[in-house]
Amino acid sequence: MRPQGSGQYWMASILAVIFLVTSLNAAETVKVFLLAGQSNMEGKADQKLIDHQATDPKTKDFFKHLRTGDSWTVRDDAFIKFLGRHGRLTTGFGSPGKTGPELEFGHMMAEKFDEPVLLIKAAWGGHSLYQKFRPPSAGMPTAEILAAELEKAQAKVKKTNEKRGKNDPLPTMDQIKKVYGISYRNMMKEVEDTFANYETLFPELKGKKLELVGFVWFQGFNDMFGDHAPGQYASNMKHFISDVRKDLKKPELPFVIAAIGNNGSKPAKGGMLAVSGAQMSMNEVPEFKGNVKAFRTDVLVDKTAEKLYPTWKKNFEAWKLVGSDRPYHYLGSAIWYTRIGHGMGESMLGLMKQENTP
């Protein structure tokens, strides 16, 4: 029987115990996000550029939330594995010497959750959804399409052999077929390997349980080309989302799509319009309502870099202070990639909020 007049004490004690138990449970779990795609998911903002803009009076406020004093924050509550590299989240986890959208996205997730955050990034430049990322349930292209692809590949080798006096073997149909889905399979292997070895890769997470809670897709450039890829993108994307969820045993895994927008301020045309439209159409698929979100990346364009790019060769000293790559890599703009990372984060948190709403 509790002493009279001690109700507030007991209530405070109970709340303290609840808070402690909740904190311990949260600390035992790691929120895992899978980030996949091609070169733009790799990230192409040069380190020299982002270092400059973080200290330039005109742009430093944009990056200050990613900094601690005069240095980039190295988070102790957010971790990343990108193929052969792994560590605490900071700059430099894009292509070698570069940073991508993972920096802003990872910071947002770490700020939101009490649990540690782990990003698994599986991205390879030049890989299309039509071919290398092709999901299993999409099946193979028709026999006619594969035959035409084989004929073209063999003709290329024959031409090279004649030109260089070589006798390299001609490609076979098995070799043509083997490429389809190879990046999808490698993506799943990245997840499997990380879950199997995370305590070695990240000693700070030893003893904790990984929980896959979200998927982010940033891809599309190579599907703009060819006779088949643009028109089949929507179908392949639906198969992809469904297969990812099935293979990862997460039937309603929140799925964010950063729709291709290399066109920036200019209207998208041709293959880019077809692919971006297919990606945005995922918002209208009934079975994806509330658990898939596609957003536009062209509207997030870094207009300063965009304006200077046409004359970058003549104005290189000025250009290197705002951009570091070509339009297909979002001008290598640290600002544009960071805005995209923020869009990914906002979209993901929106989906997760809906997921947790009764």
Is the pLDDT score of 13 beyond 70?
no
> In the chain, which segments carry CATH 3.40.50.1110?
28-135+180-355
Q: Are 56 and 65 in contact (CB under 8 A)?
A: no
Which position has the token pair 């909740």?
A: 22
CA dist 87 and 221 (Å) reads 29
Give the mean pLDDT of the chain.
93
pLDDT at 357: 64
pLDDT digits (tens, 9 = 90+) for 208-222: 999 999 999 999 999
pLDDT at 358: 58
pLDDT at 354: 77
pLDDT at 14: 39
Q: What are the distances in angstroms from CA 87 to CA 76, 77, 205, 324, 338?
A: 10, 11, 11, 25, 20
- Strand segments, DSSP code E, in 25-165 are 29-37, 45-46, 67-68, 71-72, 78-82, 85-88, 98-99, 117-123
Sequence length of the chain is 358
pLDDT digits (tens, 9 = 90+) for 125-160: 999 999 999 999 999 999 999 999 999 999 999 999
Q: What architecture (CATH level 2) is domain 28-135+180-355?
A: 3-Layer(aba) Sandwich (3.40)
CA dist 202 and 80 (Å) reads 9
Mean pLDDT of the region 286-299 = 98
Q: Are 282 and 294 in contact (CB under 8 A)?
A: yes
Measured from the Cβ of residue 136, the count of other Cβ atoms closer than 10 Å reads 15
Mean pLDDT of the region 307-325 = 97
pLDDT digits (tens, 9 = 90+) for 90-134: 999 999 999 999 999 999 999 999 999 999 999 999 999 999 999
Residues 6 or more apart whose CB falls under 8 angstroms from that of 70 comprise: 55
CA dist 268 and 285 (Å) reads 22
In the structure encoding, which two tokens stand for residue 194, read together?
Answer: 């990380």
Q: Are 128 and 137 in contact (CB under 8 A)?
A: no
**Share of residues in the chain with pLDDT > 90 (%):** 91
Q: Judge if pTM exceeds 0.75.
A: yes
**Share of residues in the chain with pLDDT > 70 (%):** 92
CA dist 213 and 245 (Å) reads 11
pLDDT at 27: 62
Torsion of CA 309, 313, 316, 322, to 10 degrees: 10
Torsion of CA 238, 240, 242, 248, to 10 degrees: -160
